[in-house]
Every structure is written in structure tokens, then in C-alpha cells.
Structure 1
Amino acid sequence: MAMRLFLSFLFRLTLVLFLLDSAYAQALRVGFYKNSCPDAEAIVRKTVASYFSQDPTVSGPLLRLHFHDCFVRGCDGSVLLNSTKTTSAEKDAMPNHSLDGFYVIDAAKEALEKACPGIVSCADIIALAARDAVSLATGSVGKETRTAGNYVWEVPTGRRDGIVSMASEALANLPSPYAEITQLKASFAAKGLSAKDLAILSGAHTIGNSHCYSFESRLYNFTGRGDTDPTLDPKYAIKLRSQCKPGDETTTVEMVPGSSTTFDTKYYKLVMKRRGLFHSDEALLQDKETIDYVYSRLDSPKSSFFFDFGVSMVKMGRIGVLTGKAGEIRKQCALVNS
């Protein structure tokens, strides 16, 4: 039954992506490297799988990298660039201090440069690695996916790398974990994403961990009066305070307790119980469209969510892309070409 549901959702997703690719044929397309670097996707997949087998928690950071890349200057790999003597790069902005997984992207890039030098962009590697990380973390359906050699969604490729990365732009464009629903919707709308996309992509919080400092004020000083965020379940707040002491900069907490390495719909059940780690998670309950989507995930098959997530990820992956002769293909992902 699980395999049948998976194949059904994969067929529908493939059809949607085909239609999208037809509309954007001059920009990105599935199989962009078919002739120039036939093993490109397999190399990225093998690299991600190797690290995932050693540490399944790598899936969350790789997915987060793609999101943080696309929301600043578009999906151009600018989040990977190092700061220079004159410019502080995106990765050094406060919201990006906890980003991880760069070493996986670098390893994939190194392998690709050996196989086909100067062909595959770092921006595409981020997009492919995010897809592969999710595919490897999809629980029971994920096992069938890995056996069949399929993916949760197909990634249109053909992005080129940007040459500018500014910390100030990361601060201005990345949604805050303390944002209210109006701010979140406006932030997503500015990138061409809908309220439904917001609710779907928030489901990425079903995997990964968060540092205590990312939500500390929800526990100890939400309005500056030593209070707790009223949208957070009081009993869960007590549990979190036992894990996160004031000023703790090192401890991490699972986004979904006991299930932080399995991509599924448990996140939405937590949100309904007011146990999302971020205020922005609970903000989904403040809008009819987003709360309707949260409700819809409570008793629907995982394959339905996988389908929705794939469509929204492809949509997000098209934000501000550089194609054709724009940008460059970096030799090293952390550095622009000399």
C-alpha cells in the first residue's frame, strides 16, 4: 500500500514539474547536466548518502541551507561564500551563525570538479543536496524510495553562481523565528510564494535541531517582562526550560522530539498542540489558509505532504536564479573565481 501511494504521488509530482519546466524551459530544467555531466546528480546523491549514513542529523542542515540561500539574492549559492576583507558575507550574519552542512556541499563540489570541471554550479549542488537529504529522511516510504532509486521530487537545474554575498541582505530577507503571521506572509509573498507555500515549507521543521538561543526569549523574556510566550504550551515550556538555561549558546533541541531525523508530518501535530519550537511555527494558527493546511495534515497520508512539499520546493528553487551567461560556475563554493 505504501509503495502504491508513493508511486501515485510521484507520478502526479512528475506531471506538475513537467508543466512547470515547459513554462520555464529557458531558465531551469530537469536533466540540465544530462550531456555535459551525466553523473552529476548521482555524485551529489552519493556524497549526501555517505554523510547521512554516518550522521542522519545532516539532513536538516542541508535543507536549511537551500532555504537560506534562496531567500537572499535568490538561489545563487551566495550563502556559501566566505567574507572578504571588505565585505561581511551572508554566512556571517546572525541568522546564519547556526548554519551547517557546508562540508557536504564542498565534498560534492570536489567530486564533481574531478568528474567534469567547471560544469556544475554550487547553487545546483545545494538544491540537489536538499532534495537528497529529504529523500533519505522520509522514513518508511524513504526506504522504498532508496530501494527504487527514486526521489521525493525532481530538481530542475541550470542555476549559475552569484558573486556577491552580504550579511546585511541576510538580515533583511530571512524570516525571523519570532515573526507573526502577517510578517511571514509578506516575506514569502515578496519571493513569489503563497500562504500555502509558507505552511508547506514550514513542514521542513519536522527534521533537524535548533540551538536554545534561537527560541530562548520564548521561555524567559518574551515581552521584556520575564514572561513566557503565551502561544507556547505551558507544560512544554517547563520541559524546554529544563533543557535550555538562560544564556545557553551550545545546547541544541530536536525540532520534533524523538523524530528529528525522519521527514514526516509529525511537525503539524506539534503545532496544533502549541509545541512548535519557534513562535513562527505557532503563527501558522493565526491565519485561515495556513491553519487549514495544518489541520489537513493531521489525518492525511504522508505521500500527500511529500507531493505538496516537492511542488513548493521546486517553486522556491526558482527564486531569483541566475542562468545562461549570468553569474559563474565557481571552482570552489566558498570563493568567487579569480
Structure 2
Amino acid sequence: MIWVTWRHHRTSLIFSLGIIAVLALTGLVGGAIIKSDGSGRPFGSFFGCFGNTTAICAAETALTATTLIATMLPVFLGALVGVTAFSRDIEQGTHVLGLTQSVSRARWFWTRVLVVFVPLTVAAALLGFVLEWTRRLPANSNFAFVAGRATFVDPPNLSYPFFQSSGLALGAYTFMALILGAALALLVRSSIGAMALTMAGVVAVLAMFQFVARPHYAELSVEASPLDGSSRYSSYLGGYDQFGGDWEIEQGYVDIQGNFVDVDYDECTWNGSGDENPYDQRPEETGAEYTIRIDVLMAQQDRDMEVCLREHGADHREIRYHSSDQFRRFQVTEAALTLVLSGLFLIPALWGLRRLKP
């Protein structure tokens, strides 16, 4: 049965493993080039190499592309391999030959899981560990993947796309996607329909982990700072990583009980009066006089801002985040939850298998 399954699915399996191997090789070569370069520089933008054909720039862009492709790998493997591992037999009627022989339904199902799904899961996990290796850079480096969005140095990062493309998580996602594809193939019995549902389902699961589950894997760390009018723009920021790899969840002004308060920044912002811009240097002012006046003006604005914040009920400002040193704990937690979810997807898969008529 193993030999028959291999002969039947070897093309899609070899092709898929080949793609993963190319991605891993790209990561190894790109990582080696980056690590051999002693200088630290931002990189990652797909448009950053215009006019720059050096190997380091090509490696930087290749690592960004590999990272993004790896995050979508479970989606495509689930649809193109997980579904077709069963739907092709069902649509062509070749499953009848297997199910009418001495082979049981369970063996027919699990042989495909063993021969097709397990190698792809292991390969995806290895790709994830290769990508983790590329991101462990010297302490004086300052590299930024994915269009310069986030500075990423050792220790690892907990947010998209780095977490999703790392070892344990990427392997678990791939297995979950393959099982989901198999379940939908056995239930829907239409390749196109099952593929569409699989892609939508995998994306939904990945989004659920990112936005719903992962923020709750551990208690949030809190960095609190006193109420200060000079930090009035800080609450506009958010959604990106701070603290050199830590994952910021939320930030803003809070009351004395620690509850976030809504601040009307238009009400608390003072822009002067009249048509004159208070920040423009006046004709009669010297440079020193202008500097002194602006310092006084900014100090007054800070005091006014602090008074306004307190009137809104703010007591201090907090940044709540997950520390990057919890990366491995989060990887193990999410991989375990993903495998549990894969087990749940096996229930409709086995039910569809039982209903399958030879």
C-alpha cells in the first residue's frame, strides 16, 4: 500500500518538497551572505535594490521574499496537496479499487497521511528552522525584513511574518492545513470547492491564532511611564514591534485602576491663536531668542497637555507587550494547539471516509 501510494502521489510530493528545498537553500545562502557582512544596515524592501546589484542587497531581498512565501506555504500545500491526495482518487473513481480489495478504509487513509503529509510537515518545519537561523545576527546588526517594517535581530520575533515562518509553528500549520484539505476533500468531493474552502479555512485559522489566541499565551508585561505632556503623540503609535523584538499588544493612557481611557487629542492640542504660527521665527528675533521662546512654548504646551489628560481621567501611560524571550514557549504552545486542532479536523475526515462508497 505504501508503494502504491508513493507511485500515485510522487509527482505532487516531489514537486512540493522541491519548492521547500529551494526556499531552504535560498535561506541558507542568503543567511550566510548576511552573516558574513560585518556592517549593520536595514534591508528587506523589494524596491531597495534599484541601482544596487551587490550580493548583500540581493540576499536581503531574497530573505524577505522567502519569509513571506513561507507564511503562505501551509495555505497552498493544504489546497493543492491535502485536497488532491484524496479528491483525485474520488473524482477518477480509483478509490474503488483500493476500497474493494483487502485494504481497510483506515489503512487507505492513514497511508496517505504517512507517505504524503508527514514528509511535507517535516520539510516545512526544517524550512522554519533555517529561517530562524538566518535571523540570528550579530548584536551590532540592524536588519529589517519585509519592506523595512520591523527591525529584527536576535532574540526572535513574536509577530507576523516571523513567528508564522519559524520552525515548530510552520511545521504544525502545514500538517493542520493538509488534514483540513483531506477532510474537505472527503466531505465536499469536489477538488475546486474543497481547495477554495481549504484556503479560506487555513487563512482564517492563522488569523485567529495571530489576533485572538496568541496574545493570551502568557501574562502581558507592562512598561508604565508617568503622565507627561511631552508624550502626547505616543498613543498614536502602535501595531509594530518595539523593545528590539518584543511584541507590543496595546498601549495608551490608563486611569488609576489600569483601564484605558479615551483621549480627545483635538481638545487637548493647542495650536496657538490667530493667523500667526507660533513656531515661526519672528523677524525681530535672534536665533537665541527664538530658541528660548520655543522652549518656553513647548514646556507650556506639555503642562497644558498633562492637565487635559488628567481631566480625561488619565493617571499614567502603559505599553503592554510580550517579551521576545518567550518565543520558544509561544512556538511550543501554538504548535500544540495547532496539532489539537488537526485532531479535531480528523473527526469530519474520518466521518467522510466512512461515508465514502466504493
TM-score (ref. length: structure 1): 0.30
Larger Cα-atom Rg: 2
Q: Which has the higher contact order (CA 8 A, sep 6+)?
A: 1
Identify, as 1 or 2, the structure richer in helix: 2
**Which has a greater percent of strand?**
2
TM-score, normalised by the number of residues in structure 2: 0.28
